[in-house]
Chains A and B, each alone.
Chain A
């Protein structure tokens, strides 16, 4: 069974601060996806990273895939209250299997 561990589990910061969420595994994935989930809704895809060492930017969000394709990080610059939510990483193995991490709950206080 492939496991994905996210850290920290919970993060509370003030508006304007930076934050980083980590997603680690001992397994290699063909790609890694990041989702954000808000209360009462399903997860929404933010980005997919495919190549080892790949860095993708989405406005104030920066996603990195580890060189060995076993880990990933999400960095938010100058966080805003609208960034509040549950952030989930998910690793895609060959075929259909998608394994989710336990999630990081982010609270950005105004």
Chain B
């Protein structure tokens, strides 16, 4: 089944403890992206990647890192999480050609205390 898989689905952590949210897709998509979704603010792009070793900042990149060493994987790293990073995170992928929609993962609900 074609899908984007995120792990974990739920995570509660403490301020300052480094964490990684993994994302993997099995559709051979070139483009991958991370979004966060917050009440009243909608979906905002954190980082995106157009292909292996090519990443760029989205609208809200502060406090996050990403890497794209392989085409299928696009992990999101929080080096020193803070409470304002408590949010619902989505990984998404799509084909390189413009106008194709994204396939989203099921989300990771992160709480930083």
Contacts from A to B (Cβ < 8 Å): 1, 30-31, 33, 35, 40-45, 48, 50, 88, 90, 92, 94-98, 100-103
Residues of A within 8 A of B101 (CB): 33, 35, 45, 48
Q: How many inter-chain contacts with C-beta < 8 Å in the A-B complex?
A: 56
User: Complex Cα distance A33/B44, Å?
Assistant: 16
User: Complex Cα distance A100/B43, Å?
Assistant: 6
Contacts from B to A (Cβ < 8 Å): 4, 31, 33, 35, 40-45, 48, 50, 59, 90, 92, 98-107
Residues of B within 8 A of A35 (CB): 101, 104
Residues of A within 8 A of B106 (CB): 40-42
Residues of A within 8 A of B102 (CB): 33, 43, 45, 98
Residues of B within 8 A of A33 (CB): 101-102
CB pair A30–B99 under 8 Å, yes or no, is yes
The residue from A31, A95, A100 contacting B42, defined by CB atoms under 8 A apart: A100
CB pair A42–B90 under 8 Å, yes or no, is yes
Known: A98-B45, A101-B42. A44 touches B98 (CB 8 A): no
Residue of chain B at shortest CB distance from A41: B106
User: Complex Cα distance A92/B103, Å?
Assistant: 15
Residue of chain B at shortest CB distance from A46: B101
User: Complex Cα distance A90/B92, Å?
Assistant: 14
Residues of B within 8 A of A90 (CB): 43
CB pair A31–B107 under 8 Å, yes or no, is no
The residue from A48, A97, A103 contacting B99, defined by CB atoms under 8 A apart: A48
CB pair A44–B104 under 8 Å, yes or no, is yes
CB pair A31–B98 under 8 Å, yes or no, is yes
Residues of B within 8 A of A41 (CB): 106-107
User: Complex Cα distance A19/B7, Å?
Assistant: 36
User: Complex Cα distance A90/B104, Å?
Assistant: 13
